[in-house]
Structure 1
Amino acid sequence: MTAQFAEQLHYQGRDVAMHTPPLSDYFAMGGFSPSFDLSCTALWRGYIGRWEIVDSRLYLLELHGTLRDGTETSVATLFPDFPDRVFAHWYSGTIHIPRGKRLDYVHMGYDSTFEQDLFLDVERGVVKNTRARHNGTAESGSALGDALFPHGNRGNEGAT
């Protein structure tokens, strides 16, 4: 599997990459799951979500993808009663936010290693705990590159 495009998360006033796709839990629970166009090997799920955390609650703000019939998707495609944003009450798990420079590139999923990882433990859409892990420091002047991010948003460099 190719390294994957990250979901985007607005967290603590910043846009960051999120190496967790909370919608996969919604689909696994039997939520409406449209047939996404899987034309890009770096986007096997077929969409990119834009999320935010407000008052410790996780919300889906935007959904970008194309269905197999060519129709563009949005939050309203999945949640017609909540077209502008929807509370992610279905999601319980850990949100992974990579931070800093990439130390090791792995051409698979979200397996690359970054200087730091931030983990948000979420229960039914509410952040209950935050943990950080330090993985090392990139060499000074090293051009290790960044993870793959859509919309020109690198999401990792300089995050604190």
Structure 2
Amino acid sequence: MNRLLLCFSLLLGSIKIFATAQIPDLLVYKGDTLMLYANPLELLPNIDSFRNKMFGRKVVGSTACWRGYQAEWTVINQELFLTAIYSCSDEDERPKADLKKLFGEKCKEGKVGADWVSAKIIAPQGKRLYYVHMGYESLYEFENEFQFKKGKLLQVIIYDNSKSRSSIYSQDSVLRKFIYSHINWEILHEDSIVAKIVVQFSANEQGVIDQIKVMRGHSQVYDQEAIRVVHSIPEWDVFYRRGKHERRAWNLPIHFSPENRKNYAQ
């Protein structure tokens, strides 16, 4: 789905923000392998000293794997264990770290008890509802919240985001056509005017756009027309995260120009 026209701002909690969608760590839980929206190994106090020892050479990171590795975790008898560390390299057979060399006696039977992990960790599951090319912010149908204290699993809470839905009007081509064909060009008498107005808006649980403000304006008549036409969009995307509605602010540039007047004026 092409949404290049739009930029959105996210209100994030404690998740670290990265410029590129990340290769996630993996969690094996009750026979299922889940993605992790966290990197528990980074909670180790001495993680920096581990980083260059993992694969016998300096780890080369990438925008999709800033940490240079992908860790595998397993919950066994309500306890979290580190069971593998793989390189993020593009080699056919990715190097695998020797946990015994890294952790010494703490590594038993090929796994390491993750007693340093005290955190709430999200593992998404089900259908991907919305892709975000940043960090671990893509939205999925369900989110499993694993609550650990010193490596012990206290509880798992499952959040249902299935009420999220996409609107056809958030597609670039559909939105552009709607906006410019619904502008009342007759009230904008100055045909030669070129004005770029940026409107910020958000929608409620029903997908109704109910909050609008001008971030960059031109004049009262142009600003009000921009607000009116955005307010007339029939519906917008609805997002649920952690089972609750997540209001997002979208910035939309609207170009009042002779070319758009010529192409779209009725």
* TM-score relative to the length of structure 1: 0.75
| Structure 1 pair 72–99 and aligned structure 2 pair: CA distance change class (3 A) | closer
Residue 47 (structure 2) pairs with residue 17 (structure 1): no
The Cα shift of 1:52 comes to 0.4
- SS of 2:50's equivalent in the other structure is coil
Deviation at 1:72, TM superposition (A): 5.5
* Cα shift readout 1:135-156 (whole Å, capped 9, x = no counterpart): 12687xxxxxxxxxxxxxxxxx
What CA distance in whole angstroms lies between the structure 2 residues aligned with 1:61 and 1:19? 17
Deviation at 1:117, TM superposition (A): 0.2
Equivalent residue runs for 1:1-160 within 5 Å: 1-26=19-44, 29-31=45-47, 32-35=49-52, 37-65=59-87, 73-81=97-105, 82=107, 84-136=110-162
- Over aligned residue pairs, what C-alpha RMSD do you find? 2.2
What amino acid is aligned across from residue 59 of structure 2 in structure 1? D
Would you say how many aligned residue pairs link Structure 1 and Structure 2?
134
Specify the alignment match of 2:238 in structure 1.
none
Identity value in percent:
29
Question: Once the 2 structures are TM-superposed, how far is the Cα of residue 74 of structure 1 from its aligned partner?
Answer: 3.3
Between Structure 1 and Structure 2, which shows a larger proportion of helix residues?
2
Bigger relative CO (Cα 8 Å, ≥ 6 apart): 1
CA distance in structure 1 between the aligned counterparts of 2:98 and 2:163, rounded to whole angstroms: 38
Which deviates further from its counterpart, 44-53 or 32-41? Answer: 32-41
CA contact (8 A) 2:84 2:97 kept: no
Q: For each residue in 1:14-63, what CA deviation from the matched residue of structure 2 results, as whole angstroms up to 9, or x when unmatched?
A: 1121122110101xx23543235234221011101111001110000111
**CA 1:132/1:72 → structure 2, altered by over 3 Å: closer, same or farther?**
closer
Tell me the distance in 2 between the aligned counterparts of 1:30 and 1:106: 31
In the alignment, the residues of structure 2 paired with residue 17 and residue 106 of structure 1 have an alpha-carbon distance, to the nearest angstrom, of 15
Provide the C-alpha distance between the structure 2 equivalents of 1:65 and 1:74, rounded to a whole number of angstroms: 12
Q: Which runs of no fewer than 5 residues in structure 1 stay unpaired? A: 140-160
Distance in 1 separating the partners of 2:128 and 2:88:
30
SS of residue paired to 2:100: helix
Deviations 1:87-128 (A, max 9, x none): 000000012110111111111110110001000100000011
SS of the aligned residue for 2:104 comes to coil
Contact 1:119-1:132 at 8 Å conserved across structures: yes
Question: Which one has the largest radius of gyration?
Answer: 2
TM-score when scaled to structure 2?
A: 0.46
For structure 2, the residue ranges without an aligned partner over 5 or more in a row are: 1-18, 53-57, 90-94, 166-266
